[in-house]
Amino acid sequence: MPLKIADHWLTGTNSAGKTIKKDQTPNFYKPPFNTTTGLPDATIIHYTAMTSFSAAVKVLTTKYESGNASAHLVIGKAGEVTQLAPFNYRTWHAGESFYNGRKGYNSLSVGIEIDNAGWLKKFGDNDFSRKRLKSKGISFKKNQVFHGRHENPKVPYEYWEEYTDDQIEVVFEICKLLRETYGMIEFLGHDEIAPSRKQDPGPAFPMDELRGELLKDRSGEVQEGIVNTNLLNIRSGAGGQYEKVAQPLPQNAQVKVLEETDGWYKVRTEIEGWVSKKYITPTK
Ligand SMILES: [Zn+2]
């Protein structure tokens, strides 16, 4: 049976040939979400920062004295998927979070955890690990490691465990289904909604590609442009009443256009924010 969402649970077999498993977490808030429909309208991508799928599922389905966490889905390296809560229940994956004028993403989003160790340090040419993992004899080979800096220049790490092709394919497949079912308006990394605390999913995950794929029905729109005025205010929302998120953009600054609404563009340069559309000259 192909993958589908029924009564807020994934069912069927995914593109990696895995049947979805259920393992209900005790760590959740009851409905509704803090959205107009009461259902999630965003999806947040995470890595577990662990080295075992089953250990991650265990942590996310256990009630501790403190520090309880959960998510809706955990995605293993072979594309296996365990769902921990129905999508109309709120899980505890986002923590204190803020993006584009909205805050508290536990009450806005579905959380997807991918089994992945996260950032690593180089111990030798073919030996990447972290102190804590190394002491347990766990390390990664060069061909399992992505080399690249995080989009947030304050993140010092430059080595990351690669995601598997099955993981990426299954995450894309599920996000497409979530968009069709819930009309999701945002697909974001944890590192985008909590940039001072979080680095996941990091540069090894193709976040821009995911957004491009899911929003490709917007083709024909402006994708890039340059600022055509002296100093252009960049704000947290689409309107002059929203606060400025950074210093104004200088003339001729290049921007990537992410969204458009009511005469405003959401753009990305070093940061993201909203600018009045008339001050952007399209280049692509
Ligand atoms: Zn996270």
What CATH number was assigned to the domain covering residues 4-116+163-216?
A: 3.40.80.10
Residue ranges, CATH 2.30.30.40, the chain: 221-282
Place of tokens 């040939």: 17
Ligand 1 centroid to residue 44 C-alpha, Å: 8
Place of tokens 């409905």: 31
Buried/exposed 118-146: b ≥16 CB within 10 Å, e otherwise: bbbeeeeeeebbbeebeeeeebbeeeebe
List residues, by chain if needed, whose CB lies under 5 Å from ion ligand 1: 46, 190, 200
Residue ranges, CATH 3.40.80.10, the chain: 4-116+163-216
Which stretches of the chain are DSSP H helices? 53-60, 131-134, 165-182, 190-193, 207-214
What is the average pLDDT value for the chain, to the nearest integer?
94
Q: 7: phi > 0 → left, psi -120 to 50 → alpha, else beta; which?
A: left
Ligand 1 centroid to residue 112 C-alpha, Å: 9
Ligand 1 centroid to residue 122 C-alpha, Å: 23
Confidence of residue 216 (pLDDT cuts 50, 70, 90): low
Confidence of residue 217 (pLDDT cuts 50, 70, 90): low
51 or 225, greater pLDDT:
51
Is the pLDDT confidence value at 112 over 70?
Answer: yes
Is the pLDDT confidence value at 221 over 70?
Answer: no
Antiparallel, parallel or unpaired: β 42-47 and 109-114: parallel
Ligand 1 centroid to residue 22 C-alpha, Å: 21
Ligand 1 centroid to residue 136 C-alpha, Å: 23
CATH class of the domain at 221-282: mainly beta
Q: How confident is the model over 114-145, as pLDDT tens digits?
A: 999 999 999 999 999 999 999 999 999 999 99
Q: What is the pTM of this model?
A: 0.78
DSSP assigned state of 30: P
Q: CB of 84 within 8 A of CB of 62? A: no
Is the pLDDT confidence value at 215 over 80?
Answer: no
Ligand 1 centroid to residue 229 C-alpha, Å: 38
